[in-house]
């Protein structure tokens, strides 16, 4: 589904990604872990098309097409979803208004008619139920006055409504208490299927207790320095990221 080859990127003059190689197949869940500043969020944002990073080399293919050539909205319509680490507040524009525009943009790109108000409402209500989001919150401005946990639940709600092929969740677990973590994890698990893939960017192993990954990668110094199965996350939890530093050559 997604094939990243030797991807390098910088922000201003600072090299952040120094050659990322990663393949994600349909239906797989990959966790990308790593210390602060290792490039995890950069990778997530580049995949979604944020233009504040400059891609300096390498390639990204999504279902065979060159992802880096597409605008952010084209990537979204092709089936990519980014769950933001810091979801943006848009006061005065309701969640419903944004979801309607987002759903219809996708349908238009696929040559379908706009969703009927009833179709949309049913879809959103179902997602809201899974995410334990009250109806009143759907009518409020996007993330307007939401707590950190509410914002993250709202991200997953949007994901459930938009049904992406590839969901990239950037530290969706940060700032969540145990109950909210469970709700968010249930939401992600509800989306899992043989056709959909998920990339979880996280610091902590605890998310992976709820969403079981197929693969775990460790990103450090702009490179993937270790890949393995779910057991790798447990080793990291036990030994810390310093262990990676010890077992690898220090990154340049």
Partner 1 sequence: MSELIAPSDIRWPTRKQEAWKYTDLAAWSKLMPEAFSLAQPQPKARPTALWQGDCSRRLTWLDGQFQADWSHGVAPTDTQAEPASSEALSDLITHSRRQAHSLSLSGDDTCVHLVLAQDAEQDALSHLDLNIDVADNAEITLIEEHLGGRAGLASTQINLTLGNNAQVRHVRLQHTSAQQMLIGGQHVRLSNYARLFQTHVEWGGRLSRLHSTLALQGEGAECHYYALSGLTERQHVDHQVEVRHEAAHAISRLRARGIVGDSARQVFNGKVYVARDAQKTDSDQLLRNLLLSDKAEVDAKPELEIYADDVRCAHGSTVGRLDDAALFYLRSRGLDSTQARRLLMLSFAERVLREIGDEDLRDQTRTAIADHLSLQTPA
CA angle 5, 40, 158 (to 5 degrees): 100
Identify which of residues 64 and 92 has a Cβ nearer to partner 1 in the complex: 92
Cα–Cα distance, 148 to 146 (Å, whole number): 7
Provide, rounded to whole angstroms, the least separation between the CB of residue 252 and partner 1. Answer: 30
| E strand segments, 69-180 | 80-83, 90-94, 141-142, 166-170
| Closest CA relative to residue 23, chosen from 40, 45, 42, 4 | 4
Q: How far is CA 108 from the centre of its chain?
A: 23
Identify which of residues 44 and 224 has a Cβ nearer to partner 1 in the complex: 44
| E strand segments, the chain | 2-11, 14-24, 29-33, 54-62, 65-66, 80-83, 90-94, 141-142, 166-170, 197-202, 215-220, 223-228
Lookup result for tokens 């504040």: 52
Look up residue 84 and give its two tokens. Answer: 């933001």
Provide, rounded to whole angstroms, the least separation between the CB of residue 225 and partner 1. Answer: 28
Cα–Cα distance, 207 to 248 (Å, whole number): 26
Provide, rounded to whole angstroms, the least separation between the CB of residue 107 and partner 1. Answer: 9
Identify which of residues 155 and 226 has a Cβ nearer to partner 1 in the complex: 155
Cα–Cα distance, 237 to 233 (Å, whole number): 6
Provide, rounded to whole angstroms, the least separation between the CB of residue 217 and partner 1. Answer: 23
Identify which of residues 35 and 72 has a Cβ nearer to partner 1 in the complex: 72
Provide, rounded to whole angstroms, the least separation between the CB of residue 142 and partner 1. Answer: 8
Identify which of residues 76 and 180 has a Cβ nearer to partner 1 in the complex: 76
- Binding-site ranges for partner 1 (CB under 8 A): 48-52, 71-73, 75-77, 81-82, 84, 87-88, 90-93, 97-98, 101-103, 105-106, 109, 141, 158, 162
Identify which of residues 48 and 68 has a Cβ nearer to partner 1 in the complex: 48
Provide, rounded to whole angstroms, the least separation between the CB of residue 119 and partner 1. Answer: 17
């Amino acid at each position: 589904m997604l094939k990243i080859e030797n991807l390098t990127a910088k922000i201003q003059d600072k090299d952040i990604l120094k050659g990322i190689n990663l393949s994600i197949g349909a239906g797989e869940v990959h966790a990308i872990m790593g210390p602060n500043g290792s490039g995890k969020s950069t990778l997530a944002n580049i995949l979604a098309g944020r233009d504040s990073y400059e891609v300096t080399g390498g390639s990204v293919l999504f279902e065979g097409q060159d992802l880096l050539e597409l605008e952010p909205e084209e990537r979204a319509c092709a089936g990519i979803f980014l769950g933001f680490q810091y979801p943006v507040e848009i006061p005065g524009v309701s969640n419903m208004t944004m979801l309607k525009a987002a759903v219809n943009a996708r349908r238009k790109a696929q040559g379908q008619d706009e969703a009927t108000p009833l179709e949309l409402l049913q879809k959103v209500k179902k997602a809201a139920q899974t995410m334990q989001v009250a109806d009143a919150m759907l009518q409020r401005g996007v993330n307007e006055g939401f707590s950190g946990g509410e914002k993250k639940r709202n991200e997953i709600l949007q994901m459930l409504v938009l049904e992406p092929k590839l969901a990239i969740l950037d530290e969706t677990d940060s700032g969540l208490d145990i109950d909210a973590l469970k709700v968010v994890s249930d939401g992600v698990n509800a989306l899992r299927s043989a056709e959909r893939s998920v990339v979880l960017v996280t610091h902590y192993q605890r998310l992976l207790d709820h969403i079981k990954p197929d693969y775990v990668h460790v990103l450090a110094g702009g490179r993937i320095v270790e890949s393995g199965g779910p057991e790798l996350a447990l080793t990291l939890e036990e030994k810390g990221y310093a262990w990676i530093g010890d077992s690898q050559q220090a990154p340049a």
